[in-house]
Chain A
Amino acid sequence: MLDNRGSVQDAKDVFQEGIIIIYRKIKDNKLKLSSSFKSYLYSVCRYVWIKHLSRQKENIENQNIYIEYDNIPDITIDEYKKNEQYKLYQKHFKRLEKDCQKLLLLFLKKVPLKDIAEELGIGSQQYIKRKKYKCKEQLVRYIKSDPNYKEE
């Protein structure tokens, strides 16, 4: 990567995303290692880097060099896209106030309203519903205004 216009930060980012993609595969019981973990991690990171380059038009030349790489790991385009999407959503979720993050998670975990009220020390269940709505809308606004957000 460093020899192909990548920065140290790019290397760190790609390494992280490679690990997360592999982690999701483990979680879904889809990981089948036919080589050592180190080689697999390397091939996944390389794949992530190729995909990253392919999004940058100015790097088409570099991309062609990488595309010849014959050891493509078993990462589907959907797994890659999902990782990119979720990374964006999770990044903006972390931007929300702590209360908002907690409230959205409690709703998603289907915690009853009265328990959410207790947990957050809020008396009115109506207020909780309104707050949850505002938090979610704020999150959607953050995401839609991100330059990396793409409508599918």
Chain B
Amino acid sequence: MENEFDLIEKYLMNEMSVREQVEFEESLRSDPDLMKEFLLRKNINDAIIEEDVLSLRNNLNEIVNTEPVTTRIIKKSYIYSAVAAVIILIVVIANIYIFPLGQMNKHEVFQYYYSAYPAVMSFRSPVDQTEIEKILYDAFNYYDDGKYEMASKYFKQVLEKDSTNYMSQFYLSVCEIEKNNLSEAEEYLNDLILKKDHIFREQSYWYLALVYLKQNEMISAENILKKIVKENMIQKSDAQLILKILY
């Protein structure tokens, strides 16, 4: 088990290669004991990095334990002064720890950064269009109108005819996000980031990070955001800011 502890710590500290991560995640899925140990260690990390709560707990301890208790009934005035002190504490600590980080939680970060990727396709006149272009034309019309159910149907048709049409796959993933089918979006985007030579690669990383945030998969989101920063992708500065806000 000791070796497994090492692996868990390496994973939590993001010290694994992508391949090691994938293998480890596979082991997590198939081994409930390993998953229990992983969750324990991950939660310990999350708990001990809560410096603001630790500090609040210490201050509360001081407040409630330094007040002399002379009767069995807690006096009303004691309750009021303790409540007042605690409210002041909360405000002070919130100012120190939360406001500088932009006051956003992951859902707000998602709301703030996410918008459907704009439709960027120019078409030849209908008579000159190929069969795929005709389908794409309809797909983008629906997409532009916010009719994502229909748009995704047409993007899928394109993919059935040409599985290497990465543009369709990318827009399809955005449609799935809009329809709140996040696992499907995740699947399409994960597939896209593995394929290196297409113009939607960086956008795919970005949308995948947002999908993970929305799914509350914070470790996966962090890994993708770090990749965006490391590889100097277009959204590098936004990714840095999110990492700063949420991690």
A2 at interface by CB-CB < 8 Å? yes
B195 at interface by CB-CB < 8 Å? no
Query: In the complex, which range does the number of interface residues on chain B fall in?
Result: 35 or more
B48 at interface by CB-CB < 8 Å? yes
B residues in contact with A2, CB < 8 Å: 72-74
B residues in contact with A140, CB < 8 Å: 40-41, 44
A90 at interface by CB-CB < 8 Å? yes
B65 at interface by CB-CB < 8 Å? yes
Q: Smallest CB–CB gap between A131 and chain B, Å?
A: 13
A116 at interface by CB-CB < 8 Å? no
Binds B, one of A17-25, A47-55, A61-69, A118-126: A17-25
Which residue of A41, A136, A152 is within 8 Å of B39 (Cβ)? A152
Q: Smallest CB–CB gap between B28 and chain A, Å?
A: 15
Chain B's interface: helix, strand, loop or mixed, by majority? helix
Q: How far is A83 from B105 in the complex, measured between Cα atoms in Å?
A: 18
- Whether the Cβ atoms of B53 and A90 lie closer than 8 Å is yes
A residues in contact with B93, CB < 8 Å: 23
A109 at interface by CB-CB < 8 Å? yes
Q: How far is A93 from B5 in the complex, measured between Cα atoms in Å?
A: 18
A127 at interface by CB-CB < 8 Å? no
Q: How far is A41 from B87 in the complex, measured between Cα atoms in Å?
A: 11
Interface bits A19-46 vs B (CB < 8 Å: 1, else 0): 1101110111100000001100100000
**How many A residues face the partner with a CB closer than 8 A?**
40
Q: How far is A134 from B40 in the complex, measured between Cα atoms in Å?
A: 17
Residues 100 to 137 of chain A near chain B (Cβ within 8 Å):
101, 104-105, 107-110, 133, 136-137
B residues in contact with A104, CB < 8 Å: 48
Q: How far is A109 from B13 in the complex, measured between Cα atoms in Å?
A: 10
- Whether the Cβ atoms of B56 and A90 lie closer than 8 Å is no
Q: Smallest CB–CB gap between A39 and chain B, Å?
A: 11
Q: Smallest CB–CB gap between A128 and chain B, Å?
A: 13
Q: How far is A38 from B76 in the complex, measured between Cα atoms in Å?
A: 12
Residues 42 to 100 of chain B near chain A (Cβ within 8 Å):
43-54, 56-57, 60-61, 64-65, 69, 72-74, 82-83, 86-87, 90, 93-94, 98
Chain A's interface: helix, strand, loop or mixed, by majority? helix
- Whether the Cβ atoms of A20 and B57 lie closer than 8 Å is yes
B103 at interface by CB-CB < 8 Å? yes
- Whether the Cβ atoms of B50 and A86 lie closer than 8 Å is yes
A residues in contact with B86, CB < 8 Å: 19
Known contacts A12-B65, A16-B61, A90-B53; A85 and B43 CB within 8 A of each other = yes
Q: Smallest CB–CB gap between A108 and chain B, Å?
A: 5
A75 at interface by CB-CB < 8 Å? no
- Whether the Cβ atoms of A37 and B87 lie closer than 8 Å is yes
- Whether the Cβ atoms of B9 and A133 lie closer than 8 Å is yes
Q: How far is A11 from B73 in the complex, measured between Cα atoms in Å?
A: 10
Nearest-neighbor residue (CB-CB) of A7 within chain B: B72
B153 at interface by CB-CB < 8 Å? no
Interface bits B118-157 vs A (CB < 8 Å: 1, else 0): 0000000000000000000000000000000000000000
30 contacts between A and B (CB under 8 A): A8-B72, A8-B74, A12-B64, A16-B64, A19-B56, A22-B90, A23-B90, A24-B53, A27-B52, A27-B94, A86-B47, A86-B50, A89-B43, A89-B44, A89-B48, A90-B50, A93-B47, A93-B48, A101-B48, A105-B51, A107-B13, A108-B45, A109-B49, A136-B9, A136-B41, A136-B44, A137-B5, A151-B36, A152-B36, A152-B39
